[in-house]
Amino acid sequence: MSELLKIMGLSKSFGRHPVFSDLSLKLDAGKVYGLLGLNGEGKTTLIRIMMGVIPACKGQIHYKDSEVFFRSAAYKEDVGYIPEDPFFFGGMRVGELLDFNAAFYRRWDSQRADELLKRFSLDRKTRVKTLSRGMKLRLSMAVALSARPPLLVLDDPTSGLDVPTRYDFLQGIIRELADSGTTVLFSTHLVHELERIVDHLFILHRGRIILDEEHQAVKDFTRRVRLAFPGDAPQTLGIEGLLTESRDGQRMEAIVYPWSEEKEKKIEGLSPLRMDVEPLTLEEIFRSFVAG
């Protein structure tokens, strides 16, 4: 698969407060990426740097093998950006807003813009400021998708929306994926949502990418182990990759990544009375990764 975007050694701090340092990741064309992180871990900052909204302190971003500079216009034409709180000129009408945006993009597809308005039941004559939060999100999607971007970046777009509206939104993204093979980076703290759509996961925690792995592999190799011992449980299981570990008298519980047969054998070597190994939901996995 071809590499679309690559971030190398990116660092950012606000004043003396570092957000992240030496951060690297890459996006391959045609995949859906999920960027997970607790509130305030720098997801939005990372995305805003990627989008050229704010400058980085250090590091490089490469898009299709050429370096992206802060405020580079050509790159922005290739990336659709749906921020958490999209800014619109409220006094404009929906149609005017689309025409206004069309002027910035050489690849703007006005036929597609009209299709999207119809699909999202948006009327060209409505004033933007009268739209609800859900309708504004649809509008920002229409704007982003009409420019036919090879890369779509979504910054927690569904927070604060009700479930049906979120579902609707995801469905729109999926249609887009299927139609154009768009690459998507989806940032959210609503993990449950990602479960249906992501190919690959990043977890941003305490200024580092602590997980960079295929979604299915993460699910296949994260396991919860519950143990009961005849006497007191050992102090620790003493294996690598313990995300969490807790003991209570004869019992012990741990979450392990990556899980392997070797580790299973090693735990069996401690001769527990009982050993249960179970998979976890993405939400539980995320919680255990950021627990430490």
Partner 1 sequence: MITIETSGFIPIYEQIKKAIKGEISLGVLKASQALPSIRDLAAELVVNPNTVARAYRELEHEGFICTRKGKASFVSENSISLIQRDRVRLSEDLFDRAIAEARKFGLDAAEIRRIVESRLKNQGKNAEGENR
179 binds partner 1 (CB under 8 A): yes
Q: CB of 267 within 8 A of CB of 226?
A: no
Judge residue 185's burial from the number of C-beta atoms within 10 Å of its C-beta, 0-12 exposed, 13-18 middle, 19 or more buried: buried
118 binds partner 1 (CB under 8 A): no
Q: CB of 88 within 8 A of CB of 97?
A: yes
Q: Footprint of partner 1 on residues 231-250 (CB under 8 A)? A: none
216 binds partner 1 (CB under 8 A): yes
Smaller CB distance to partner 1: residue 22 or 179?
179
Among 54, 57, 177, 270, contact with partner 1 (rule: CB under 8 A): 177
66 binds partner 1 (CB under 8 A): no
144 binds partner 1 (CB under 8 A): no
161 binds partner 1 (CB under 8 A): no
Q: Footprint of partner 1 on residues 257-286 (CB under 8 A)? A: 274, 276, 278-279, 281
Among 71, 129, 196, 206, contact with partner 1 (rule: CB under 8 A): 196
DSSP string, 190-208: -HHHHTTT-SEEEEEETTE
197 binds partner 1 (CB under 8 A): yes
167 binds partner 1 (CB under 8 A): yes
What is the rounded distance in angstroms from the CA atom of residue 251 to the CA atom of residue 229?
A: 6
Query: Which two three-digit tokens encode residue 193?
Result: 């949502």
Among 8, 170, 228, 239, contact with partner 1 (rule: CB under 8 A): 170
Buried b (16+ CB within 10 A) or exposed e, 35-51: bbbeeebbbbbbbbbbb
Amino acid at site 111: Q
CB of 127 to partner 1, least distance (A): 30
- 79-82 sheet: strands from edge to edge: 79-82, 151-155, 183-188, 32-36, 200-205, 208-214
Query: Which two three-digit tokens encode residue 61?
Result: 């971003």
For partner 1, which stretch binds (CB under 8 A), given 85-93, 148-156, 170-178, 262-270? 170-178
| Residue ranges that bind partner 1, judged by CB under 8 A | 30-32, 167, 170-171, 174-175, 177-179, 192, 195-199, 216, 219, 274, 276, 278-279, 281
